[in-house]
């Protein structure tokens, strides 16, 4: 156990990590900090690109024995840090019920590639991809495609934030509703499937796992 209760991540490909690290078919859950932490320190220079595919991050920011309701730690996928530009890749992943953000740039100013990610019921933002206060030159090269954000049991006062080139096939939380860029609501059948998946979560570790894997099956089946 991390004695500080804030620093134990599931997968930590960070701080001087080289190119070519890829995570495929992985699950990260009930870590006291982030599910995936790709934090990058300024003094280390730019890390290598990390790719995460077909993976699930759920119920992080808490352990099996500690709910940790402060909502100040526990991202699903943290994609960098401190303004350094690294073009990390997320593809076909699920972020569910994490104690902070589902997917966050963490001030990575690089050309992130985020595609086919389902982010549901994370405490703060489901997606937080900001305009960089450090260097905005790579923003036009960021891609955000076919991603879906939804809320069933966990509301938030925050709308999703995506500062990137994004296609019309994304659904983001805006004023409590999952909408595409045309303002159209999420398909009712798909919304019902997501709701049914989340219903497996009865607050137990087994229920949370069942819900997360049901969401992964839904995401795999999306066109």
Query: What residues are annotated to the active site?
Result: 78
CB 110 within 8 A of CB 80: yes
Nearest to 185 by CA among 199, 172, 198: 172
CB atoms within 10 A of CB 117: 26
| Residue 210 DSSP symbol | H
156 phi/psi in degrees, rounded to 5: -150, 150
3-35 burial string, b = 16+ CB within 10 Å, else e? eeeeebbbbbbbeebeeebebeebbbbbbbbbb
104 phi/psi in degrees, rounded to 5: -135, 140
Q: Characterize the bridge pairing of strands 113-120 and 77-78.
A: unpaired
Q: How far is CA 179 from CA 105, 116, 128, 152, 168, in A?
A: 21, 16, 16, 14, 10
CB atoms within 10 A of CB 168: 10
CB atoms within 10 A of CB 94: 28
């Amino acid at each position: 156990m991390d004695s500080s209760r804030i620093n134990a991540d599931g997968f930590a490909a960070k701080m001087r990590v080289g190119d070519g690290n890829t995570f495929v078919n992985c699950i990260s859950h009930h870590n006291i900090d982030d599910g995936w932490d790709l934090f990058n320190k300024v003094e280390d220079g730019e890390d290598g690109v990390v790719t995460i595919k077909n993976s699930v991050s759920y119920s992080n920011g808490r352990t099996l024995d500690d709910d940790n309701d402060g909502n100040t730690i526990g991202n699903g996928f943290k994609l960098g840090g401190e303004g350094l530009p690294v073009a990390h890749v997320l593809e076909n992943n699920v972020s569910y019920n994490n104690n902070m953000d589902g997917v966050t740039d963490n001030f990575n100013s690089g050309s992130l590639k985020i595609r086919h990610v389902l982010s549901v019921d994370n405490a703060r933002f489901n997606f937080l991809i900001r305009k960089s206060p450090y260097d905005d030159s790579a923003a036009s090269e960021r891609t955000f495609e076919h991603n879906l954000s939804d809320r069933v049991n966990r509301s938030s006062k925050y709308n999703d934030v995506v500062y990137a080139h994004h296609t019309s096939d994304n659904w983001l939380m805006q004023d409590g509703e999952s909408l595409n860029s045309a303002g159209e609501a999420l398909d009712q059948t798909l919304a019902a499937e997501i709701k049914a998946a989340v219903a497996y979560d009865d607050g137990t570790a087994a229920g949370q796992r069942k819900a997360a894997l049901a969401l992964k099956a839904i995401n795999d089946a999306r066109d």
